[in-house]
Amino acid sequence: MLAISIAFTAISGFFAARTAFFAIAPALFYVFKSRIIYFIFFMLTGTALIYLLLDLPALRSYKNWMISFFLFSSDRSAEYLIQQMYFWPGEAVVIFGLGAVNDGTFVYTDAGYMQDILFGGVLFLLIKLCFVLYFVYLFLFKYPLYVMLVVFSILAFHFKGLFLYNNAQGMAAFYFIFFYLWSLSERGDTNSGERSVGRR
C-alpha cells in the first residue's frame, strides 16, 4: 500500500507540475534505499499507471508536454524561462543589485536566481546559498546520493522561481531533512563513542 500511495502521489504531482519529479525523487530514494522490493514494485506500478493514464483520450495532450521535460531543447516553458526570465542587467546590478525586483527597470522575471541578483547582487545570492552549502558540507560524505538529490531539487526549484527562504512549504521540508540528518549523525557519533569506550 505504501508503494501504491507514493506512486499515485508522484503521478498526481507530475501532472500538476513537472518539477514535482524533483521533489519526489529524494523521498523515493529515502524510502527505497533499504527496501528494494518497494523500488521494484513502485517502478512497475508507476510505469503501468502512467501508460494507462496517458492512453486515455482526455489526457493524450499531456504526452508531448511531459516528454518535453526530459527533452530540454523542445521544452517551450524552459526555453521561455531562459530566453525571457534570465538576462544580463549590467555589471553594477550583478555586483550590487538594485534593492528592488520587478519595478519596471527591467522586464518582469519570476526566475529565482535572477530576482536575487536584481535585488542584492551576487553577494546576496551567495549568502542565500550558504545554508545549502553548509548542508552539503555536513552531510555529503555520509549520505552522498541523498544529499545530491536534495540539493539538485532545491537548485532546480530556485532556477524556476523563488524557493530559498521564499517558499514556506519547501523550506519547511528542507529544514526537516536537515535536522533529521543531523539527528542521525549525532546518533551515529554517540554509538561510535560508546563502542570506543567499550573496547577500552
Please indicate whether residue 65 or residue 105 has the higher confidence score (pLDDT).
105
Q: Which of residues 15, 39, 70 is at a domain's end?
A: 70
pLDDT at 28: 63
In a domain, 48, yes or no: yes
Please indicate whether residue 169 or residue 103 has the higher confidence score (pLDDT).
103
Residue 34 has pLDDT above 50, yes or no: yes
Looking at the structure, tell me whether residues 35 and 129 fall in a common domain. Answer: no
DSSP assignment of 12-51? HHHHH-TTHHHHHHHHHHHHHTT-HHHHHHHHHHHHHHHH
Looking at the structure, tell me whether residues 55 and 88 fall in a common domain. Answer: no
In a domain, 87, yes or no: yes
In a domain, 193, yes or no: no
Distance (Å, rounded) from C-alpha 50 to C-alpha 13? 12
Domain that holds residue 181: 78-188
Query: What is the average pLDDT score of the chain?
Result: 75
For range 79-88, the mean pLDDT: 78
Looking at the structure, tell me whether residues 63 and 32 fall in a common domain. Answer: yes
Angle at CA of residue 174, ends 168 and 180, nearest 5°? 135
Q: Which of residues 14, 47, 70 is at a domain's end?
A: 70
- Total number of domains constituting the chain: 2
Confidence of residue 27 (pLDDT cuts 50, 70, 90): low
In a domain, 198, yes or no: no
Write the single-letter amino acid at 83.
Q
Distance (Å, rounded) from C-alpha 114 to C-alpha 162? 9
Looking at the structure, tell me whether residues 35 and 107 fall in a common domain. Answer: no
Distance (Å, rounded) from C-alpha 76 to C-alpha 65? 9
pLDDT at 135: 94
Looking at the structure, tell me whether residues 50 and 109 fall in a common domain. Answer: no
In a domain, 199, yes or no: no
Q: What is the pLDDT of residues 92-138, one digit of tens each?
A: 999 999 999 988 889 888 889 999 999 999 999 999 999 999 999 99
Looking at the structure, tell me whether residues 41 and 125 fall in a common domain. Answer: no
Q: Which of residues 50, 70, 90 is at a domain's end?
A: 70
